[in-house]
Every structure is written in structure tokens, then in C-alpha cells.
Amino acid sequence: MEEIIKRVSIREYLDKEVEKEKVEKLLLAGQVAPSARNQRPWEFIVCDDKELLNEISSRCKNHYMAKDAPLAIIVLGNKNKEKSPMYTYQDLSAATENILLEATHLGLGSVWLGVAPNEERMTNLKEIFNLTDDYFAFSIIVIGYPKNEVIKERKYDDSLVHHNKLNKKYE
């Protein structure tokens, strides 16, 4: 629970490389996500090239933080692996969230940048990374050591929970 509660979106990073061992742990976290019918439709691009990170930042609206980060992981959908296409986005979301949580566990900051289903962003990433038609970019996870510590108090909110019937509270 600690990482789940502690995780926040980080948009400013130190100029410090993320160690290879940590990158491998992040990728493992993504690869062990739950998946419908075990289709595991994901593949990952690890991007630490400053020119490409700048291009992501300039071509994808609101993805400005990529230019100052040491690392981004692009979560791809592989259409050839789809056994249950209607659940692919859920699977890719689970992989993305696993990576975010592992980043927090490793003392890294991260932010989920949405790509799919925004056609312009998907096209831009297809062009930036020369993706074939078998692949589509689902999300970008920008990762690095946080420039500033962000602490948000998060509390359980019982008003968001309903039991048995809507508006009937558990007693």
C-alpha cells in the first residue's frame, strides 16, 4: 500500500541517469501485469536519447516534461498478440500502472502521459519511433529522479464507496 498511496505525478527531474538495474525492474513490473486471456499485448521502447525526448516534447501537446527527463518508457500495443482486442487498453493500462508503482518503490519519480486513443499523438509516436502498422503507442511514462519532493496527503473517502445498493452505506 505504501507505494500506491505515495505515488504522485512528477514532472521535474534531476539531471541524473536512471541505472540499468532499475530500468530492468521497471520493465519486469510492466511485463507481469494482469492481462485478459494472458494475451500480454505489450512491448516497450526504452528511450534515453535526448533528441528523441525533445521530439516527443515538441510534437505531443502537454508532454513538455519529456525534454527534461533522463528516461521515457513508451508502452506499445502489439496487434499480433491480441486474443481479446476489446481488453487491450485495459491490459496496457495495467502494465503502465505497474511501472509507475515500481518507479515509486525504487525512489524514482514518474508521470503517465496519455497517447491512445489520441490519433495525432499516436501518429507522432509512430513517426518518431518508425513503428510498423502492427504496433501502436499507448502511453509514455516519463521517469527520473524527482527534482523536488512532492508529498500529498491521501485519505480514505467513505463517500466514494457503496455497498449492495447505490447510496446504501455498509453498517
Average pLDDT over residues 58-78: 96
pLDDT bracket for residue 138 (50, 70, 90): very high
> What confidence score (pLDDT) does residue 159 get?
86
pLDDT digits (tens, 9 = 90+) for 96-128: 999 999 999 999 999 999 999 999 999 999 999
Place of cell 539531471: 15
Give the residue among 14, 7, 24, 33 at the shortest CA–CA distance from 112.
7
pLDDT bracket for residue 88 (50, 70, 90): very high
Full 3-state SS string of 97-147 = HHHHHHHHHCCCEEEEEECCCCHHHHHHHHHHCCCCCCEEEEEEEEEECEC
Average pLDDT over residues 47-74: 96
State the chain's mean pLDDT as an integer: 94
Specify the pTM.
0.93
> What confidence score (pLDDT) does residue 171 get?
53
